[in-house]
Structure 1
């Protein structure tokens, strides 16, 4: 006798770097989004939705020398053999949208958008391959007042989410200042493009590695604790010193204001016309911060803010969480940046051939939510569970449906049991759902024109105090028979007793 073929059963598992969210976490995220949206709306931004899938070349990630354009993005080929990609941020699709609808848009064009984005990269603590971003952007605004507004709005968003001043900082730099630094050490021009990128990546690691670690990356290279070696930029000792001095010239001893930071930077990069222009832009932003009352406890100028994306052309900024928390295993976790942005005056130009100035700010909602959860500041209060109407007689489903409809019409969350089990299993279901009340109408109740209401919250409390089963059965705690016509009124009374209904 031949063996029957083995049935393939896939293993139930979520892919690496992705996650499922329970009802409480989903509601917490929705509340976060509502608070951010309120801030964005207050600043005068309007909502926009763009496609989650874009042509790969529109995202700027198309690699003609590769079989698949997968540098940081998830891509697939359409039936017309064109490459499509899941969006890796909300900015590139915005640039495509603006270019496509440019003539009909008000200018400046101010929009906000929230949605999932996908990164084909290594996940880490609080860093997922699919996550939610919430962006605000201003397109066709050439002045840095728009950049300053983004920084102030970022601070307002974090405080609206319950993060107090002192536990976060909006950190600001300018790519022109960084370009000026590189010019002063002889790394200007197209021939030094790769070296500049290595230097910027090294500067970006200053807060993690400190001066000595960055100096190694600027020189021959650095071996980390695991033994992995990262090749360095190969700079000379004088070049390394100049870069390290710049990085340390931020909020150190004697630099107690943003103006003093700019003075320190001007001594180092002021000889570059590009660097001087960037410093002038930061000085203008500082004046706006001061006028609006945003001091160093909210916004600082920071030398190691670089921003990795190559489309930034001017001011860049990050919103950093300064606190350290412990994960479930008790290991220290520092989340760092949970939002970022900057000026990208060349992104729309890819489509239109003319410069269209733009700036934006993006909150990494998923990463921020993970941080708030570990900090104990995440609003995860669940919505009250629904009242459950038991269905004890299949011939009376219409009657049970009428009860549920009456409760819902009164603004009460309610559901009718839709499984196929008996009363005992239905009560277990109501308990597992966390239902505050179970509504029972069997033959006996129907004959009397009554219903039985079980206060499951009170019952659970009383069960902790009753050890004798006889006393439990005789007392029938938290159970009351009421006229069928008083269903809504009596359920409301039970919910009000537990502070669950205000109707």
Structure 2
């Protein structure tokens, strides 16, 4: 920006604005993400996973697929050059740091190494609904086990996490295998990394474009509604038919039925047979864990990240999600993962099997708000102690301290507004109660408590302001010594926690 020398420096003020894709969160929105993490962490620990924290920055070459081009260091990531001329980037996910950590400390780690991690990650890409440039993830991974049962364990644990979040009937985990896809690619005559990637991207668009759109992308290409042409994979008709036959196998609650339907489609390919054998073991383990229809085999699941080598899985909310204007909106996968046996080998040259899953905490919180499942509108605020005078401030502080000592959230109003504005403040904080300690109450060793939930409920049936004042709904004056007990009774009786 070129500064105008005629304008005094003190009059030049920046516009207050948040960068696109970087969301400000307060109150219920901030708490919703924290609650998701606080709910998932104990689940991971019950399954024997230990916490691991890594730094926000990694050297750019450690990010694998997301390594920026030499002349475009910010392509996909937020990068900067260190004082020793090495490129560092904010972590794109929590998996690449795990791979680096495992490679760096492999000799001293217990094997398999089971860890969970949570925290913010950053992606330099276009924002969208539920898609941010900065967001939180919560992952769990097992490094050092090639058993399909390790994949099943991750799936079962993810389902337990969804259930702990109250989403047991709102989400289904769909499972597939990259080995099955490799078998289909073999049967379809796909060759080369470029054609393979084009086919995978086409398959990944099945939910959005349907069979017709995928068919075009598997062939010569597709012209979208905007007039843009996407070049296709260029498969032959028999190759396209092989892929479509694979995608046509329905996802059913009976996992065994899906495996039986897949067997003839794969045409006896080596990779396909390995994938079926893995899924059979995953099915047996899931049954042992007591997991039924909540985990399904779905051949159409193709995770976008290239490093997946075996089982892949993802889950979306089945609840109705709408934006602020009431329009339907799709948030995509809220939890996903799979087996990535080649990631640690990038550092060591030695293949180390690994599998894991990631909860998109920020996306999940946004989806829950859109589905009205997060309880944000009813989030409980603190008890508010009304301040009448400066002289009695120590009594207000003592009342709040007594409440907090008993485990009740409480605060003293520290603004300089009058009684009416303070009560409005308490209402906006969604406080369960307001504490009134006027001079008369203090002198008599009493306290007046306003049950704000009862007041809100009574207000619905009282239209006249004078009748409201006369009724004084939800208000009681009691001995100061009984304040904590009375406030706890109000909170316990409330349907809002």
TM-score, structure 1 normalization: 0.86
Partner-residue secondary structure (3-state), 1:121: coil
The corresponding residue for 2:202 is 202
CA distance in 1, matches of 2:167, 2:399: 44
The corresponding residue for 1:119 is 123
The corresponding residue for 2:93 is 89
CA contact (8 A) 1:205 1:304 kept: no
What 5-or-longer segments of structure 2 have no aligned partner? 1-5
Name the count of aligned residue pairs.
Answer: 490
1:175 paired with 2:172, answer: no
Per the TM alignment, residue 140 of structure 1 is displaced from its structure 2 partner at its CA by 0.5
1:348 paired with 2:344, answer: yes
CA contact (8 A) 1:112 1:135 kept: yes
The corresponding residue for 2:223 is 223
Q: Greater Rg, structure 1 or structure 2?
A: 1
Per the TM alignment, residue 146 of structure 1 is displaced from its structure 2 partner at its CA by 0.5
Partner-residue secondary structure (3-state), 2:333: strand
Partner-residue secondary structure (3-state), 1:394: coil
Classify 1:238/1:44 alpha carbon distance in 2 versus 1 (closer, same or farther; 3 Å). Answer: same
The corresponding residue for 2:167 is 163
Per the TM alignment, residue 325 of structure 1 is displaced from its structure 2 partner at its CA by 3.6
Per the TM alignment, residue 468 of structure 1 is displaced from its structure 2 partner at its CA by 6.5
Stretch of structure 1 that moved more, 125-134 or 196-205? 125-134
Stretch of structure 1 that moved more, 343-352 or 382-391? 382-391
Classify 1:157/1:63 alpha carbon distance in 2 versus 1 (closer, same or farther; 3 Å). Answer: closer
Stretch of structure 1 that moved more, 255-264 or 28-37? 255-264
The corresponding residue for 1:487 is 480
CA distance in 2, matches of 1:433, 1:323: 29
What 5-or-longer segments of structure 1 have no aligned partner? none
Aligned with 1:150 (options 150, 154, 166): 154
Per the TM alignment, residue 340 of structure 1 is displaced from its structure 2 partner at its CA by 1.0
1:372 paired with 2:352, answer: no
Aligned with 1:410 (options 406, 413, 422): 406
Per the TM alignment, residue 25 of structure 1 is displaced from its structure 2 partner at its CA by 2.6
1:362 paired with 2:361, answer: no
Classify 1:404/1:156 alpha carbon distance in 2 versus 1 (closer, same or farther; 3 Å). Answer: closer
After TM superposition, the structure 1 = structure 2 runs for residues 92-491 of structure 1, keeping only pairs within 5 Å, are 92-165=96-169, 167-188=170-191, 192-248=192-248, 250-251=249-250, 257-295=254-292, 297-380=293-376, 382=378, 384-442=380-438, 452-458=448-454, 486-490=479-483
Per the TM alignment, residue 32 of structure 1 is displaced from its structure 2 partner at its CA by 2.8
CA contact (8 A) 2:275 2:310 kept: yes
Classify 1:474/1:363 alpha carbon distance in 2 versus 1 (closer, same or farther; 3 Å). Answer: closer
Per the TM alignment, residue 414 of structure 1 is displaced from its structure 2 partner at its CA by 2.2
TM-score, structure 2 normalization: 0.87
CA contact (8 A) 1:323 1:334 kept: no
User: For residues 272-331 of structure 1, what are the alpha-carbon distances to aligned partners after superposition, in whole Å with 9 as ceiling and x for unaligned?
Assistant: 323322222222222323444434x22222222121111111111112334544333232
Classify 1:431/1:279 alpha carbon distance in 2 versus 1 (closer, same or farther; 3 Å). Answer: closer
RMSD after superposition = 3.1
Partner-residue secondary structure (3-state), 2:492: coil
Stretch of structure 1 that moved more, 206-215 or 7-16? 7-16
Per the TM alignment, residue 450 of structure 1 is displaced from its structure 2 partner at its CA by 5.3
CA distance in 2, matches of 1:426, 1:294: 52
Classify 1:29/1:441 alpha carbon distance in 2 versus 1 (closer, same or farther; 3 Å). Answer: same
Classify 1:323/1:390 alpha carbon distance in 2 versus 1 (closer, same or farther; 3 Å). Answer: closer
The corresponding residue for 2:59 is 55
CA contact (8 A) 2:316 2:335 kept: yes
Per the TM alignment, residue 137 of structure 1 is displaced from its structure 2 partner at its CA by 0.6
Classify 1:273/1:26 alpha carbon distance in 2 versus 1 (closer, same or farther; 3 Å). Answer: same
Aligned with 2:489 (options 485, 496, 501): 496
Stretch of structure 1 that moved more, 67-76 or 415-424? 415-424
